[in-house]
Amino acid sequence: MTLLLAPMEGLLDFVLRDVLTRVGGVDRCVSEFIRITGTLLPDKVFLRYLPELRHGSRTLAGVPVRAQLLGSDPVSMAENASRLAALGPEGIDLNFGCPAKVVNRHGGGAALLQEPERIAALVAAVRRAVPAHLPVSAKMRLGFNDSGLMRECAQAMEAGGACELVVHARTKADGYRPPAYWEQIPAIRAAVALPVVANGEIWSVADALRCREVSGCDALMLGRGMVADPGLARAIRATDAGLPGSDTVQWADLLPHIAAFWQLVCEDLEPRQRAGRLKQWLNLMRRRFPEGEAAYQHVRTMTDQSAITVWVDALQDRFTV
């Protein structure tokens, strides 16, 4: 089974990618989307989203990271993809799934799922602009308001030269509301010869196994479920190998990773962002860990960086005595 770590704007940035890939079980990551408008971005922008480009396009744990681009103009997307390719990414992924109104209003993200012919032109432009050895993949939703064009959109991505397709099994109109409609994915798999990766609402090992059965996909992309339970990929692998429960990550196992995350946040992010990023992660982890609930409740009103640092250090000491 192949397990990918999803791109999630404002959540799964390079800091959290680094920490989650240290926990283990992930085969490949995809960056937050880099928005392409009408300008040629300087290298520093690509490096800000993907500092892993300085390390062979891999996290410090050695997991490859593919860069994701979002835009609607084939010429601008191609020019920026070419510049990005010169920095040595593991590959380039194209976003046809973002449901944000500001993105869709400008014809990007999921809005393109209404026009398969434009999808084909955009993918083809990027594919022509980058070296042949560089993978160009795509991520889509089932559609914009409905799934009526999902096969045509997938076929457009294949026709444009995409080598892999991730399907977030909801429409733009569905947003992030459960459920994910994994049962729609086999129709997409039947319409293309590309490898298809299933994504959406995989919060547990049981979800992963059911998604694989329903979708027919041997490759899964984990998003919020992996953030809430950083040991999810490892647990899925253990169960897939017939060893359920043999690689379970407990709260105490995560404390060094929480400390590493806080250190990286303090080193790499603006002061105004730091406390919020830790609270954001703990807020998700309390779905999986009772200790995460207690930690979130303790830190949710804190804003002082030094006080949070003292608390993180004390948290480790209390669980490691």
* Residues 64, 139 within the same domain: yes
Q: What is the pLDDT along the chain (321 residues), one digit of tens a residue?
A: 999 999 999 899 999 999 999 999 999 999 999 999 989 999 999 999 999 999 999 999 999 999 999 999 999 999 999 999 999 999 999 999 999 888 988 889 999 999 999 999 999 999 999 999 999 999 999 999 999 999 999 999 999 999 999 999 999 999 999 999 999 999 999 999 999 999 999 999 999 999 999 999 999 999 999 999 999 999 999 999 999 888 889 999 999 999 999 999 999 999 999 999 999 999 999 999 999 999 999 999 999 999 999 999 998 776 554
**Cα–Cα distance between 310 and 303 in angstroms, integer?**
12
* Residues 106, 236 within the same domain: yes
Query: What's the structural domain count of the chain?
Result: 2
* Residues 144, 214 within the same domain: yes
* Residues 31, 160 within the same domain: yes
Give this prediction's pTM. Answer: 0.95
Find the helix packing angle between 74-85 and 116-129, rounded to 10°: 30
Residue 246 lies in a domain: no
* Residues 255, 212 within the same domain: no
State the residue range of the domain holding 258: 251-320
* Residues 286, 230 within the same domain: no
| The domain boundary residue, chosen from 193, 211, 240 | 240
Residue 296 lies in a domain: yes
* Residues 280, 177 within the same domain: no
Catalytic residue among 29, 98, 153, 217: 98
Residue 221 lies in a domain: yes
Active site residue 163: no
- Per DSSP, what are the bridge partners of residue 198? 167, 220
Single-letter residue type at 202: I
Q: What is the pLDDT of residue 320?
A: 53
For the domain that residue 161 is a member of, what is the CATH number? 3.20.20.70
* Residues 75, 33 within the same domain: yes
* Residues 168, 278 within the same domain: no
**Cα–Cα distance between 215 and 86 in angstroms, integer?**
36
